[in-house]
Amino acid sequence: MRIIKRDQIIYQFSPENKPVARVKPGETIIVETDDCFKSQLKSEKDLVTEIDFSEVNPATGPVEVEGAKPGDILAVDIQDIELGETGFMVTIPDEGAFGARITHPKTKVVPVSESTFRFNASLSFPVHPMIGVIGVSPEDEAVPCGEIGDHGGNMDAKVITSGATLYFKVRREGGMIALGDVHAGMGDGEAVICGVEITARVRMKLELIRSPAFVPERPVVEYNDLCVTIGHGASLDEAAHVALVDMLELLRYKTGMEEDEISMLISAVGDLKVCQIVDPQKTARVEMPKAVLPDPAAFVFP
């Protein structure tokens, strides 16, 4: 199986990026990802305020999918996320939800095993591996990997995990997918500004859905018995609104129901959740049970 190495990275999603690998539709690959600090933190003595900030939030890639063109959907099956052994968390003065109360930066080393992460001597939790940053090439602008756009990017959505299928609107030839910023765990909101940041090996299958009748503008995720839209905006309200309208449009396409009926359906069983509130662009998601779809057992696309 082809392995894309951890040092083949970008710091922005951009149409100017050159592919580090070219794969056929249907191919499964392994992508090694660095942590969001690019492994510049090694111990609790290393402070995030002292690292080189031009080297944060790397994403591995981009990988070109042969034949992908605008109008297609790139479907990404996240088959497995294998975590490194050490996670890192940080606090930064004036950053995150508690920034005004944080006087000194701090680094926490979080040992991670296959099944748990140890937050401190008395608190351990089951790991929830998730991919913070994943996206395709934007149409014509360059977006830093730490930011979010319609192409994806730093969405920090907990549903982007093993077993999830992601659907991206292809905006440039080849799709050009890249990913990074894996977390061993993260609470919705990512309140302090990070999850348990860690290196990883992600096994994923890249599939192409050619010229489907409906192409969502922003990423859609299928996970367990849920379909999920992810919105972004300058405020949480705005992000929520975008995710809700995206879900409305997805359901209108999938069910053919009237818009007012769908609005009530979302209000009845759709869960609006926070992804993260700590970046300049916030992200929110709507989780809808696939049971509302005509064929709940089938994939959302095609």
Interacting residue ranges for Zn ion, rule: CB under 5 A: 36, 132, 181, 197
User: Could you tell me the smallest distance in angstroms from the CB atom of residue 162 to Ca ion?
Assistant: 18
| 156 lies in the binding site for Ca ion (CB under 5 A) | yes
User: Could you tell me the smallest distance in angstroms from the CB atom of residue 132 to Zn ion?
Assistant: 4
User: Could you tell me the smallest distance in angstroms from the CB atom of residue 79 to Zn ion?
Assistant: 21
User: Two tokens at 18?
Assistant: 């050159």
133 contacts 154 by C-beta, under 8 angstroms: yes
Neighbouring CB atoms inside 10 A of 212's CB total 14
- Which of 229, 276 has the CB closer to Zn ion? 276
Neighbouring CB atoms inside 10 A of 294's CB total 8
- Which of 35, 156 has the CB closer to Ca ion? 156
User: Two tokens at 258?
Assistant: 């009237």
User: Could you tell me the smallest distance in angstroms from the CB atom of residue 84 to Zn ion?
Assistant: 13
183 contacts 129 by C-beta, under 8 angstroms: yes
Q: Which does 25 bind (CB under 5 to 8 A by kind): Zn ion, Ca ion, none?
A: none
- How many angstroms separate the CA atoms of 91 and 193, rounded? 7
Half-sphere exposure in the Cβ direction for 292 (13 Å, CA):
26
Binding mask 82-121 for Ca ion (x = CB under 5 A): ----------------------------------------
How far from chain centre, in Å, is Cα 294?
Answer: 27
User: Could you tell me the smallest distance in angstroms from the CB atom of residue 154 to Ca ion?
Assistant: 5
User: Could you tell me the smallest distance in angstroms from the CB atom of residue 262 to Ca ion?
Assistant: 31
Q: Which of 154, 165, 199, 229 binds Ca ion (CB under 5 A)?
A: 154
- How many angstroms separate the CA atoms of 11 and 202, rounded? 19
Q: Which of 181, 207, 246, 287 binds Ca ion (CB under 5 A)?
A: 181
CA distances to 80, 111, 208 from 88, in Å: 21, 9, 35
| 132 lies in the binding site for Ca ion (CB under 5 A) | yes
- Which of 64, 156 has the CB closer to Zn ion? 156
Amino acid present at 185: G
Contact set with Ca ion (CB under 5 A)? 132, 154, 156, 181
